[in-house]
Amino acid sequence: MKSRAAVTVGDREIELRTVAVPDRPPRGGALLRVTANGLCGSDYDLYSGHLREASPGLVPLPLVSGHEMVGVLERVDPEAAEKWAVSPGDRVVVDPAVRCGQCLDCRSTTDNRCRDLLRYSTMPLSRGSGLWGGNAEYMELLPGTLVVPVPDALSDEDAALYNPLGNAIHWLVTVAAVRPGDSVLILGAGQRGFACSAVAHNAGAARVIVTGLERDQVKAPLLARFGADTLLDAESADTVAQVMDLTGGAGVDVVVDTVPGTATSTRDGLACLRRGGRMVVAGIKSGAMDGLDINAITLRELVVRGVFGSSTFGVRRAVQMLTEARYPFAELHSHRFALEDLDEALRVLGGEVPGERPLHLTIVP
Ligand SMILES: [Zn+2]
Ligand SMILES: [Zn+2]
């Protein structure tokens, strides 16, 4: 059996190739027929070369990208069938982080601290079959993979949102421990901003403030339906002044920074926190932060925590939350592309195509 696969070979260079699918799944693993793969900002960062620049060695090219996988289990090794409680034919979402399950960190936390952590979409084509990403017709699943069954009521496109939503649940509920009555500031109005808004609102936040660019302002009505009280324009006015104004000078309890590239948002976020506030940094930055006042963290007893991906809890609860459909998740789907159009999809996602308003894009192989 063969699989078409979109192979990233260099910066802004993707080739559609035909790759042999292994006859059998790996021991303790499975073979997945991909039915949808969502794209997020980090896919554009890989495409544009920003990710390799920001973190050399993270993405060994060439590789098959794609880390928001939805698909049908075609073949399942008996060991995996028992351990994962799945059967061939089951429709599942796949967490991109593969934990070994054996090391000390795996046994003491559900976070991504595994000492031998693997990530789909960052594994080279030269390893085994090379089918380690969602931008292909088939994918190999290794032992240690977290698969979560998808209820029939959920479409493939909706299910693909498990990734941004699972991240948001991990960042806001597990890491920042948002409590009823908290005020939450979300930096960035992309798909992660929408997901964070819904999760903060669902967790009982009394006030949800989101910042975006000038071009994001058209998203305000939809963001409101995801629980946001206010969408600020971070381009035309000072974020800190606006947040202080809204909170009567008190600042917010929690900040989550989803903005990639610039560290300015992180500096603004720190300045928006009340004493003892919690900050989660999620966007991958291009460089160091200028003018970081360490005393502002020390004397105000701030908590600053970086996050990279989700957790078992986050992914499971994301599928549950998507199924409950308390928020209009389906309205986030702005584009759908075929595998051969991945290049165009990524340019739309990165804002390179005039007139397009990307929010959540899905590749359907
Ligand atoms: Zn992502
Ligand atoms: Zn481990």
Instruction: List pLDDT tens digits, range 197-227.
Output: 999 999 999 999 999 999 999 999 999 999 9
Query: How many whole angstroms separate alpha carbon 317 and alpha carbon 351?
Result: 31
* CA 65 to ligand 1 center in whole angstroms: 11
Residue with token string 């930096």 = 187
HEC letters along 73-124? EEEECHHHHHHHCCCCCCEEEECCEECCCCCHHHHHCCCCCCCCCEECCCCE
Interface predicted TM-score of the whole assembly (ipTM), two decimals: 0.95
Q: Work out the average pLDDT over 317-326.
A: 97
Q: For 2-149+328-364, which CATH class?
A: alpha beta
Question: What residue ranges of the chain are covered by domains with CATH 3.90.180.10?
Answer: 2-149+328-364, 164-306
How much distance in Å is there from the Cα of 10 to the middle of ligand 2?
30
**Distance from the CA of 101 to the center of ligand 2, in angstroms?**
5
Measured in Å, residue 312 CA sits from the centre of ligand 2 at 13
Ligand nearest to the CA of 361: 1
Q: 66 CA to middle of ligand 1, Å?
A: 8
CA 77 to centroid of ligand 2, rounded, Å: 21
Ligand 1 centre to CA of 224 (Å) is 23
Per-residue pLDDT at 119 exceeds 70: yes
Q: Which ligand ends up closest to the CA of 310?
A: 1
CATH topology of domain 164-306: Quinone Oxidoreductase; Chain A, domain 1 (3.90.180)
- Interval between CA 261 and ligand 1 midpoint (Å): 15
Question: Among all ligands shown, which has an atom nearest to the Cα of 66?
Answer: 1
H-helix or E-strand spanning residue 297: helix 294-298
Angle, in degrees to the nearest 10, between helices 41-48 and 342-349: 110
- 114 CA distance to ligand 2 middle (Å): 4
What are the tens digits of pLDDT across the range 21-47?
Answer: 999 999 999 999 999 999 998 899 999
Ligand nearest to the CA of 284: 1
Amino acid at 334: S
Task: Kindly report, residue by residue over 14-27, the tens digit of the pLDDT.
Answer: 999 999 999 999 99
Query: Across the chain, what does the average pLDDT equal?
Result: 95
